[in-house]
Structure 1
Amino acid sequence: MGLFSFLTQEIAIDLGTANTIIIHNDKIVVDEPSIVALDKNSGKLIAIGEKARQMHGKTHENIQTTRPLRDGVIADFHAAEQMIRGMIKMINKKARLLSPSLRIVICIPSGSTEVEMRAVRDSSEHAGGREVFMIYEPMAAMLGIGIDVEAPEGNMVVDIGGGTTEIAVISLGGIVSNKSIRIAGDDFTADIKEYMRHQHNIKIGEKTAETIKLQVGSALPDLDDPPPDFIVRGPHQMTALPMEIPVSYQEIAHCLDRSISKVEAAILATLEHTPPELYADIYNKGIYLAGGGALLRGLAKRLEDKTKIPFHIAEDPLHAVARGTGIALKNVDKFQFLMR
């Protein structure tokens, strides 16, 4: 590094469908929703992150809020680049004489195609990254949970994010068997929205559906400490008159059942493809749950009952992947599994 090391800034980015987290010097410096607000006429950036999220669903025709990532991959290239650049700017507020060259480690879903990986790399480079390394999300989640991924033993992680659910068995610093399905937090939110429309004839937006998921979301119809009912307010489908409806966690458990079953099926399919020696390791140690979806009430218990293998929720599931990406950043030269 030597003389010019102060001109190089090292950052780790967890580019998520729902939230983007940036780690710099082992600290989380940016943790914002992955949303940008753009001016429709000029294409200029108006707001990113939390500010843009507050605008989401409440804009007039000159402002457009978009989520640059769909299902874990970049859907809107221009918006993604604006977002990455804007979030990197949030780190160093003070004006610099020379903008530092960036060394970035960024994580991608394990099911990414060449094209999708290329999109992530190009966006990062356009946003000022001089060296861009990529790491698979389940690998990063494992590192973030604090597991030695290079040890010759099997570990399994289920990372339920916003756009994708990543399931992987990892041994010797590589992914042995994995599955990346596009059923995750966003689909749970969409299910709730659809259910409210169908069952109660009430129209709700994405933000309200998200709030319902956080307040009364559940994977099991009978919980030990149930949350209180949540009151939903919105217009009636037919008459457009205001309605108030209490929603219980049992209803939400019922409406999320289909999506969670798909996650269960994917976990079982991954276990099917796991070599027996590693399967034994996993059975002894249990499976780790990470990502925002891990916070869904009763999910770990439901998956345990289904697979008969114990599930452990990571201690800070929302930031596990970001932390792991940060660890990978420190060991760029040591870890062989980082991709250029």
Structure 2
Amino acid sequence: MPDKAKAVVLEIGYHFSGSTLDFNSCNLPVQVAPGRSNNCVRVMFDGVAKAFSDDIAIDLGTANTLVHVMGRGIIIDEPSTVAVRTRNAAREILAVGRKAKALMAEPSKGVELVHPLREGVIADFVAAEEMLRQLIRRAKTMLGFRRPRILICVPAQATPVERRAVYETAKSLGARKVYLIAEPVAASLGAGLPVGEPGGAMVLDIGGGSSDIAVLSAGEIISARTLRIAGNAMDAAIVRYVRRQHQLHISDANAERMKVQLGTAIAKSSGRVAEAHIRGRDLQQGTAKTVVLGARDTADALAEPIEALADFVQRALEDLMPETLRDIRQRGIHLTGGGAMLDKLDVALTRQVGVPFHLQPNPMHCVVKGSAAVLAGLDSYKHLLMKN
């Protein structure tokens, strides 16, 4: 065979078995360069197989849902929202994600915005199923997938009933296999922590509906727990504060806007915008009213949920073995999740707990990236998965 023909034989004739390339069934004349082994060729085929992988990792969050596809990265990042119209006791799903929020910008009779997840777990099974169905269908349309393997993240202390609801939802979408993993465990991997090394590594993942802690050492989960206080609880604390201090009722959306624009855990050292105009309903007059609020207001409003987070971490530390606790005090605690992005939160928690806190780069993506890493190396990480 001429050299050129031998050089291109790798491009044709390989076979597929399931979702992986069946190298052993390839009865091909393969030319191996001097000094190279057949393993080099196998690596080339493995690369082709991964390019055609149909694995999907999903961070199913209370506030946002992210979808990661092997070889493509994060292809979907949408609000976990569903627009629903109710007529004669019958519900019709109109849109999900950003489209649902956009639809609500134009008020329509009988249409409401539903949040399928509450405190990190499914609260509305039908809405959650349709939201996942549309998002996964979008991913499959983009990539032409067959029945995928799906890994979904859930709170560390999700109940068996809650875990089963997530599992059944994914299974109903035609998944070939469904796996579940605790959010902080996935976050640890996504943050690149040395979870396989001796010594403790601790992560605090703060989402929209729940905050989760995981402690890992030598590739094993030492501790995992959940607190149902996170980003949404911060919004609720702002609503209560404005009501108490200004006799003004503001919407959750306005509270979130205030948190994003002004939110800080420590007002004195904050570099946030000085003030913002917040509109709501005067509780005494019943009319529209606007007040001017500053960073000090958000720091005061958020003091309670931040203290709850600090107590949550402190209790987790108290339950650890002395040697693991010593490792974590030296290495610090790693912050992930959208709620961790609150200005100066790492500083406030460090002061209250007495252990250094480190905000990870791209904290919102740590969970889904860690989930993708688990799917990519499933044989190595199976022991970290949760029971369905």
What TM-score results when the alignment is normalised by the length of structure 1? 0.93
Q: Are the equivalent residues in 1 in contact too, given 2:263–2:295 (CA < 8 A)?
A: yes
Distance in 1 (CA, whole Å) between partners of 2:267 and 2:337 is 22
Displacement, 1:40? 1.5
Whether 1:12 and 2:26 are equivalent positions in the alignment is no
Q: Are the equivalent residues in 2 in contact too, given 1:30–1:87 (CA < 8 A)?
A: yes
Displacement, 1:10? 1.1
**2:68 aligned partner:** 23
Displacement, 1:237? 2.1
**2:385 aligned partner:** 338
Q: CA RMSD in A?
A: 2.0
**2:116 aligned partner:** 68
Whether 1:317 and 2:363 are equivalent positions in the alignment is yes
Aligned length: 338
Q: Are the equivalent residues in 1 in contact too, given 2:261–2:272 (CA < 8 A)?
A: no
Displacement, 1:90? 1.9
Whether 1:166 and 2:180 are equivalent positions in the alignment is no
Displacement, 1:205? 1.3
Alignment-mate amino acid for residue 134 of structure 2: G
Which of 95, 107, 124 does residue 47 from structure 1 map onto? 95
Distance in 2 (CA, whole Å) between partners of 1:111 and 1:209 is 28
Whether 1:141 and 2:187 are equivalent positions in the alignment is yes
Whether 1:107 and 2:153 are equivalent positions in the alignment is yes
What TM-score results when the alignment is normalised by the length of structure 2? 0.82
Deviation larger for 269-278 or 147-156: 147-156
Which of 244, 247, 260 does residue 306 from structure 2 map onto? 260
Q: How does 1:197-276 map to 2 (within 5 A)?
A: 197-276=243-322
Displacement, 1:177? 2.3
Alignment-mate amino acid for residue 62 of structure 1: G
Distance in 1 (CA, whole Å) between partners of 2:324 and 2:251 is 44
- CA separation of 1:185/1:94 partners in 2, compared to 1, >3 Å: closer, same or farther? closer
Distance in 2 (CA, whole Å) between partners of 1:112 and 1:20 is 17
Distance in 1 (CA, whole Å) between partners of 2:210 and 2:108 is 30
Give a deviation string over 1:88-141, Cα, whole Å, max 9, x none: 122134696xx6101001111111111111111001111221200111111100
**1:87 aligned partner:** 135
Displacement, 1:198? 2.3
Distance in 2 (CA, whole Å) between partners of 1:68 and 1:59 is 20
Q: Are the equivalent residues in 1 in contact too, given 2:264–2:272 (CA < 8 A)?
A: no
Distance in 1 (CA, whole Å) between partners of 2:355 and 2:319 is 16
Choose between structure 1 and 2 for higher RCO, CA contacts under 8 A separated by at least 6 residues: 1
Deviation larger for 329-338 or 171-180: 171-180
Q: Are the equivalent residues in 2 in contact too, given 1:153–1:278 (CA < 8 A)?
A: yes
- Residue 176 of structure 2: SS of its match in structure 1? strand
Q: What percent of counterpart residues are identical? A: 37
Gapped regions of structure 1 (runs ≥ 5) = none
- Residue 277 of structure 1: SS of its match in structure 2? helix
- Residue 380 of structure 2: SS of its match in structure 1? coil
Q: Are the equivalent residues in 2 in contact too, given 1:82–1:127 (CA < 8 A)?
A: no
Displacement, 1:8? 6.7
Q: Are the equivalent residues in 1 in contact too, given 2:59–2:368 (CA < 8 A)?
A: yes
Distance in 2 (CA, whole Å) between partners of 1:44 and 1:13 is 25
Displacement, 1:43? 2.6
Which of 225, 234, 248 does residue 188 from structure 1 map onto? 234
**2:12 aligned partner:** none
- Residue 177 of structure 1: SS of its match in structure 2? strand
**1:3 aligned partner:** 17
Q: Are the equivalent residues in 1 in contact too, given 2:151–2:375 (CA < 8 A)?
A: yes
Give a deviation string over 1:138-177, Cα, whole Å, max 9, x none: 1100001012322222001111111111122111223212
Q: Are the equivalent residues in 2 in contact too, given 1:169–1:274 (CA < 8 A)?
A: no
Give a deviation string over 1:26-50, Cα, whole Å, max 9, x none: 4110000101112213533211111
